Structure 1
Amino acid sequence: MIELNHLFLILCCIYLIFSDISLYSSLVFLFSAIFFYMSFIVGKRLYFRIFNENNINEGINNFNKKNIWLYIGLLFVFIGLISILADIIWINDIPLFNPIVRYHLNVYFTTLSHLIFIGWALILSYYNIEKKRVKKVILYTLILSIPIALLGYRTNVLVLLLSTIAVLYYKNLIETKDIIKYFGIIFILLVIMSILRMYFLDAGGNPILSRIELTMSVYDILFNHFNGVLDGYLHYAAIFSYFGLCNGPRTVIANILGIYGVSITPTIVGSVVADFGTLSIIPYFGFLGIYLGYLYMLAKHKRGVYLGIYGVVFAYTLIAVESGILDLDVIIYYVFGVLLCIYATLKRFLKR
């Protein structure tokens, strides 16, 4: 079965192959991906040390079977759609066709619009979907991605599609051989949105490779010239920028590079190295891998809310290869996943 650590490592290698950065920064980037891969396996094994075959469904089913999560999912989707409409009314324009106005979106409406991802994932996790209806679910997901795409963020569309595929796949509704087909659809949509953005910005270049090259060159600069210099400020900004106390972390990166009026993605490794130094990749990717490996096993065996949350963090972890985990709402999803892991573990030990 294809797992998150496989895709994470492959994606990191793709970014390295299509970039031209210094040898040392390349090795650190690759080491981070490999260390995450191995830590993910450790997390899976930790799960089996706690939940053996005899008690694999013991201790947390009462929490997991509550239908309230299905209704919460529906509520989140509704709030997300209303927030998209409010955001468009706020700027009186459609960012997909005028990317410049994207920077004038209301940060709170935009953040609330992200509830669609977790809401849809929860619905799919709890709803009893027959295998023959999977194509309809994919179609509904594509339809739902249309209003999301109007805000002009390719990342948001990717999160919705990737989390949907993850939930369906780990519910055994999609076979491994079909994954390539669905990933192909996602890639085509990504290319289309990238071309549209470049067209309306009157920009040139390859819509995919130029993005990879830019992101990795920024990582290379951060690694070689700002290694450990920022003292955690990017992650501070990831939280407190939502309260108007500072610029967003990607805007901070652009500003320290002497670029203003835009935001720049640093890669997940770049954000960690710039904030805490090279050695910080060991505890960072060690914890991230163990946590996601553990949550993956919970999602696979318990499903329900565990699978819904895992589907979303699955998507955000892959996207973080480029963008980093530098958004408050995304951090909240990861924290909620940690709380679910703690809850499941405590319930297991209390049942002994």
Structure 2
Amino acid sequence: MSVIYSTLTSLINRISDEFHKSFLFTTIFTILEFIENQWVNSFFKKLYPSENFLNFLNKHQILKKHIFNPLIVLFIFAIFLLLALNSVSNSLAITLMLAFAGYIIGSAIIPRYFLNDNLENILQFKERDMYSLGFCLILISVVFFFISVASVGGIPLLKPSIRYLLKPVLTMPVFLIIPGTCLVASAYLKEFQDGKITRSQARFRFILLLAIDCAFLLLLGYRTPLLAAFLIIIIIGFYGNIVSLWEVVVGALIGVGAIIGIGYFRSLGELTITSSTSPIYTLQSRADFTLHVLNLLDFIGGNFGLTHGHMLASSIPGSDLGPRMMVGKLIAWRTEVTVTPTLIGQMVVDFGKVGVFVEMGILGFILGIGFKLMQITKNFFYIGIYSLILTYTILGVETGILDIQVLVYFAIAIFIYLTNIIKTRN
């Protein structure tokens, strides 16, 4: 395994180095370095609020130390359910209680018995390898962005109707900008931890990465990947002491506002609402519809499930129906639409109430181990990978964890975490 890893990282480092030596990227990085120096030394930067701004937030230990604890997933899930205009059924209420119980046991209780000894055996990753990998992923996503835009003959943000003409085979690589951003940001965090760059420089680079993500993802008209980039930057910055607590809180409010705003204006453009409709209604109606879907899936799944793993397996490219299309078929016999089933929708359809308890326990354990490993090591890589899987779990509260690339991220995290557990027990 180490030989394969060394070979791949060597190849990726070589590719990254060649691009950095090219005239185009030499020019780009020279310009960015000049802008960075101007920004760091700018007088106007002093006008920005200090770390002690809204200092009362720092007095709340839960916010200060545990704002991105794995249990935040349950808090957001509860908020999402409360947004819905209708209530849950009695059967679904039982399913949700099992889901919450399984997740709490997996994330808060079981991890206490792991990673307590031989911490010097924890896997270490090189900053240069992670930066090169992230850089290459961003390059791939940028190339496929232009291919996607060219394939539909316009920019989806400006012409919302053509968004539905985008081909998943072309847009999926665009979303590699998310893990790419995660890895590059983690590498910058390592430079900050080693004293190679200042906190101001690290903050500028984080903002720059977020701006690049916004530029490409927003133009495609996608909200979820844009929010993913936003969350990842905030979580890495927070645990790396680059972003202050008050910025996290304000950033969360901005993120919610972005979701509401983009959804509102997109709905106006598609003539599904009028300008007199409340902006928050789009969020409420979306939550209500998704909850209605979950009620139906819970009824179909029962105690032991219906599809027995076929929905999760349908995430694999080449399947006749994707998982969200399968949801559409199950509840309405329509395979031409995609329907979001929430975090537990796939679990209850595949394996019923029993499966929800077990799968939520496993999901909680993955995040709980990741959180503990991050806190123990303060390592740039483990901060980055935890931010990645936590982000997609939070977003999965509505959409479910069903995209193949996201499942790959979780598979990589599971492999790394289990390897560390085994190594620390020896």
Query: Same fold judged by TM-score > 0.5?
Result: yes
Task: Give the alignment of 1:10-49 within 5 angstroms.
Answer: 10-19=75-84, 20=86, 21-47=88-114
Give ranges in structure 1 of 5+ residues lacking alignment: none
Match of 1:132 in 2: 200
How far is 1:296 from its partner? 1.8
What TM-score does the superposition give when structure 2 sets the normalisation length?
A: 0.75
The 8 Å contact of residues 296 and 310 in structure 1, kept in 2 or not, is answered as yes
The 8 Å contact of residues 299 and 310 in structure 1, kept in 2 or not, is answered as yes
After superposition, the C-alpha distances for 1:101-148 in whole angstroms (9 at most, x for unaligned) are 333323232221121111111111121244334653453213421211
How far is 1:279 from its partner? 0.8
Paired residue secondary structure (1:162): helix
Q: Structure 2: how far apart are the matches of 1:98 and 1:216? A: 29
Match of 2:339 in 1: 264
Amino acid at match of 2:183: L
After superposition, the C-alpha distances for 1:47-93 in whole angstroms (9 at most, x for unaligned) are 4xx334xx44x1235x3235211111111111111111111112222
What TM-score does the superposition give when structure 1 sets the normalisation length?
A: 0.89
Match of 2:291 in 1: 216
Match of 2:148 in 1: 87
Of the structure 1 ranges 37-46 and 322-331, higher mean CA displacement relative to structure 2 is found in 37-46
Task: Give the alignment of 1:1-352 within 5 angstroms.
Answer: 1=65, 2-19=67-84, 20=86, 21-47=88-114, 50-52=115-117, 55-56=118-119, 58-60=120-122, 63-127=124-188, 128-129=191-192, 130-133=198-201, 135-137=203-205, 139-140=207-208, 141-204=210-273, 206-227=281-302, 228-239=305-316, 242-243=317-318, 245-258=319-332, 259=334, 261-300=336-375, 301-350=377-426
Q: Structure 2: how far apart are the matches of 1:305 and 1:135? A: 18
After superposition, the C-alpha distances for 1:320-340 in whole angstroms (9 at most, x for unaligned) are 111111111000000000111
Higher relative contact order (CA 8 A, sep 6+): 1
Of the structure 1 ranges 151-160 and 121-130, higher mean CA displacement relative to structure 2 is found in 121-130
Distance of aligned partners of 1:275 and 1:11 in 2 relative to their CA distance in 1, 3 Å threshold: same
Distance of aligned partners of 1:38 and 1:98 in 2 relative to their CA distance in 1, 3 Å threshold: farther
Q: Structure 1: how far apart are the matches of 2:245 and 2:330? A: 43
| Alignment length (residue pairs) | 341
**Larger Rg belongs to:** 2
How far is 1:302 from its partner? 4.6
Q: Structure 2: how far apart are the matches of 1:22 and 1:212? A: 15
How far is 1:29 from its partner? 1.8
How far is 1:226 from its partner? 4.2
Of the structure 1 ranges 218-227 and 324-333, higher mean CA displacement relative to structure 2 is found in 218-227
Task: Report the RMSD for the aligned CA atoms in angstroms.
Answer: 2.1
Q: Structure 2: how far apart are the matches of 1:22 and 1:281? A: 16
How far is 1:235 from its partner? 0.7
The 8 Å contact of residues 267 and 321 in structure 1, kept in 2 or not, is answered as yes
How far is 1:194 from its partner? 0.6
How far is 1:151 from its partner? 1.9
Distance of aligned partners of 1:216 and 1:88 in 2 relative to their CA distance in 1, 3 Å threshold: same
Q: Structure 2: how far apart are the matches of 1:30 and 1:174? A: 35
Amino acid at match of 2:374: A
What's the % identity of the aligned pairs?
24
The 8 Å contact of residues 182 and 388 in structure 2, kept in 1 or not, is answered as yes
After superposition, the C-alpha distances for 1:140-179 in whole angstroms (9 at most, x for unaligned) are 2134212112222211111111111111112122233332
Amino acid at match of 1:59: N
The 8 Å contact of residues 12 and 33 in structure 1, kept in 2 or not, is answered as no
Amino acid at match of 1:111: M
Of the structure 1 ranges 275-284 and 141-150, higher mean CA displacement relative to structure 2 is found in 141-150
How far is 1:265 from its partner? 0.2
Distance of aligned partners of 1:94 and 1:29 in 2 relative to their CA distance in 1, 3 Å threshold: farther
Give ranges in structure 2 of 5+ residues lacking alignment: 1-64, 193-197
Q: Structure 2: how far apart are the matches of 1:69 and 1:131? A: 20
Q: Structure 1: how far apart are the matches of 2:314 and 2:155? A: 27
Distance of aligned partners of 1:71 and 1:3 in 2 relative to their CA distance in 1, 3 Å threshold: same
Q: Structure 2: how far apart are the matches of 1:174 and 1:46? A: 31
Q: Structure 2: how far apart are the matches of 1:126 and 1:132? A: 15
Distance of aligned partners of 1:106 and 1:65 in 2 relative to their CA distance in 1, 3 Å threshold: same
Q: Structure 2: how far apart are the matches of 1:146 and 1:189? A: 14
Amino acid at match of 1:251: M
How far is 1:312 from its partner? 1.2
